[in-house]
Amino acid sequence: MTENAPASASATHTIKTHVLGFPRIGEKRELKKATEAYWKGQIPLNELLATGRTLRATNWARQKAAGIDLIPCNDFSYYDQMLDISCMVGNIPPRFGWKGGTVSEDTMFLVARGRIAAGAEAHQHEPGQECAGCAVSTFASEMTKWFDTNYHYIVPEFRKDTTFSLSSTKVVDEFLEARAQGINAKPVLIGPVTYLSLGKLQDTAHPDFDVFTLLDSLVDVYIDVLKRLAAAGAEWVQMDEPVFALDLSARQKDALLSAYSRISRAVAAPVASGYSKDADGAPAAKLRLLVATYFGPLRENLPLFTSLPVHALHVDATRAAEEVDDVLARMPANKILSLGVVDGRNIWKNDFDASLAILTRAKDALGAGRLWVASGSSLMHSPITLANEPKLDAELKSWLAFAEEKLAEVATLRGLTEGALSGSPEAAALQANRRANASRRTSTRIHNPAVKVRVAAIKESDFDRPRAFAARQMVQRQKLKLPLFPTTTIGSFPQTNEVRSARARWKKGELTEAQYNEFLKAEIAATVKYQDEIGIDMPVHGEFERNDMVEYFGEQLSGFAFTANGWVQSYGSRYVKPPVIFGDVSRPAPMTVEWSQYAQSLTARPMKGMLTGPVTILQWSFVRNDQPRSVTATQIGLAIRDEVVDLEAAGIAAIQIDEPAVREGLPLRKSDWPAYLDWAVKAFRISASGVRDETQIHTHMCYSEFNDIIAAIADLDADVITIETSRSNMELLEAFVDFRYPNEIGPGVYDIHSPRVPAVEEMVNLMKKAEAVIPRGNLWVNPDCGLKTRGWPEVRSSLENMVAAAKALRVAAEATVGAGKA
């Protein structure tokens, strides 16, 4: 019997349990392997779909066995749940050539990944490209962060002439699939207002078009889908509207009330007077609606939320525990409250006593029949199971709970809330939970007095470089002697099968340390030679020694632990294995100096050292929840500072401190931004400000809307920033222009998330857009992001085109100077 063992499945319970979603990737990353095999033409579509069916069946059975009453379906996706909604409603951008009808898996992948250019060296005809011979290249839809998580969604695109129609029955099909296995599942849909709110207007002819004008036609499709679910036998449907945790406009608030009033009238069982008939006056189907919000408090949106004409409401008490009493006070007598007391986004064991205090108040206020126990959000943000972590030490493991363990926590908390008797499995689990949490609070592994003293001793001057950027720029130009439009990459080069195999063999002891290091040196030497041959002005060493840009550093920092199989989905088939920050952080020894120094010895060009910044390490880890995140970020910043200083001492003239996650760390409410940006910027500056003026500090950001944090980005005071702009057609550069960003900038000229190879002319045209608004002397030419996930053929073609584009830009610049126009 585990400490979180649920009560017997035969027990009768008044309080229901559910989770908002479950990880879809598979314990052994089965979905990634099958999807990528399909893209490469190695397996047929029916084999990929069969993998999906197996994963869904496994997930449903696991939840049923754990004691979950309302098991979600349609939380599974082959790529992204927002993209699934776009497919459901037929919102496929015109450039992808969709002709209507059912949106196929190939079309879905095309939207997510783009289409490869014909004739490019890297070209492969993949099943995921419906491209009639791949005659035309098409850029993928934009991708950005899902709220403040590390998951990315495919951004819906809207135009004034956008129309919606039912174009995928995936949600109904998967409900019927679950029902065939004896599970009357709870279908999950992202709600229509969240869908519209998180999309983007892509209509140059109508830049002021209000996308909420499209709401009625969008809701028509939702109603069609919900009626089909009701006819198929669905009893509950979960509608996710996490926009309730945001600052909502009056238009969004009106849309929420309008949408759910229409939906309730059309498809729902009676909630209150006036909602028992559909729009045509026919008797309503017996469908019940749960609207779920998560990731943050409701605040001023609480009255609207509780007034929705639906049967049940879900709130994320793990992110808004202070608001629970207000929610209870406002709950109408005809509604059920689902309380998310088990954190779907972290890996720490639940504090049963704290959760029970919340649940007991709710039961006293509402009665057991109107209370559900749930996860705060989908469990997709957690690894699947601790059962696959035999190498984690027993003490640390006792402090953790992954998705499977969280299922048991939900079920156990239900039993405890109902009043499980002494001697019951739930009572035993409560005692075990108390022992584990007490152990964590008192463990000497967590606290390092030397780190705390160093943080306390930080002075204001420690956050500043010796001189301002304009002075630094002059001495850096004298030292580096770079041409106009200097070329560089973002850091990583392809992690080939050979690289991954060598790392795996080394970890298994099949390669000695010396043999592995010789392999890495050979990869670095070949990559540096290639960059020299094609003319990359500021090369990188390729990061072949790194498995992940965060995990690599965490493995060498104190206060971190690592899992063997703690994978979570970042986007599509890209999964990451976040480190666990359990204690105070410091750097015992140099982490990257040896590799950067070796790479510099191979070239006369300035080698760029590559580090991950403190905020990104924080954001992309599972972070301890026993101290403020700001303190942990500062500790990491000091550790990175030590590495930066050592790189400079080793002769590295340019050092990149990647911070792609600064924006994703923003609180969901703008009123909370200043406090976060203050400590996030300081964490970066403390990491970067220990070097001389002539050392050039770079940073990199991707997947971000920069407009509303541009002042904070400027306050980072990096000498060069590289950003993602190609998917947005340089649209993201506008923030830097409007702000008059003073430092140097590299707007990405091609999208590394797609296998297509951009033409020289395409990159030249993008840079000309940048040159029109940014002084050419401040512009760099680079890809959007690192090249780790790409193959060498497409990388070679793309980089050679990129260098050719930079040369063409220099020729054009010289011509304008010669003509007296510069």
Question: Per residue in 563-593, is it b (16+ CB within 10 Å) or e — as a string?
Answer: bebbbbbbbbbebbbbbbbbbbbbbeebbbb
Identify the residue whose tokens are 């009768």.
12
Check: CB of residue 179 under 8 Å from CB of residue 241.
Answer: no
Three-class DSSP category at 36: helix
Which SS3 state, helix, strand or coil, does residue 814 take? helix
CA distances from 348 to 251, 344, 400, 438, 492 (A): 38, 10, 4, 13, 32
- CA dist., res. 443 & res. 395, Å (int): 9
Which is nearest to 479 in space by CA: 650, 768, 695, 167? Answer: 695
Please answer whether residues 375 and 339 qualify as being in contact, where contact means their C-beta atoms are separated by less than 8 angstroms. no
CA angle (542 as vertex; 613, 127 as ends), nearest 5? 100
Using DSSP's 3-state secondary structure scheme, residue 298 falls into: coil
Let me know if 456 is exposed, middle or buried by CB neighbors in 10 A (0-12, 13-18, 19+). Answer: exposed
Find where tokens 């849909």 sit. 189
The number of CA neighbours under 13 Å toward the Cβ of 674 is 1
In whole angstroms, give the CA distance from residue 99 to residue 580. 47
Q: What single-letter DSSP state applies at residue 310?
A: S
Tokens standing for 177? Answer: 């699939």
DSSP symbol at 212: G
Count CB-CB contacts under 10 A for residue 301.
Answer: 20
Q: In the 8-state DSSP scheme, what is residue 696? A: E
d(C-alpha 265, C-alpha 286), whole Å: 12
Tokens (6 digits) for 131? 């491209």
Contact 521, 499 (CB under 8 A): no
Active site residue 753: yes
DSSP three-state, residue 457: coil
Active-site annotation holder among 18, 123, 700, 753:
753
Helix 170-180 vs helix 215-232: angle between axes, to the nearest 10 degrees? 20
Cα–Cα distances (Å) from 395 to 403, 585, 725, 747, in that order, read 19, 19, 45, 46
> Are 35 and 78 spatial neighbours (Cβ–Cβ below 8 Å)?
yes
Alpha-carbon distance of 616 to 629, in angstroms, equals 12
Nearest Cα to 552, choosing from 496, 467, 610? Answer: 610
CA-based torsion, 26, 86, 195, 218: positive or negative: negative
Question: Which H/E stretch holds residue 701?
Answer: strand 696-701
HSE of 101 in the Cβ direction (CA atoms, 13 Å)? 6
Contact 487, 537 (CB under 8 A): yes
Q: Is there a contact between 434 and 352 (Cβ–Cβ < 8 Å)? A: yes
Contacts of 204 (CB under 8 A, 6+ apart): none
- Using alpha carbons, select from 728, 796, 812 the residue that is nearest to residue 204: 728
Give yes or no for a contact between 554 and 617, defined as CB atoms under 8 angstroms apart: yes
Question: How many angstroms separate the Cα of 620 from the Cα of each of 77, 81, 798?
Answer: 22, 21, 28
Q: Note whether 383 and 565 are within 8 A (CB).
A: yes
191/418 Cα distance (integer angstroms): 32
Residue 558, beta-bridge partner list = 586
CA 668 to chain centre: 15
Return d(Cα 102, Cα 87) in angstroms, integer. 8
Q: Which residues are catalytic?
A: 753
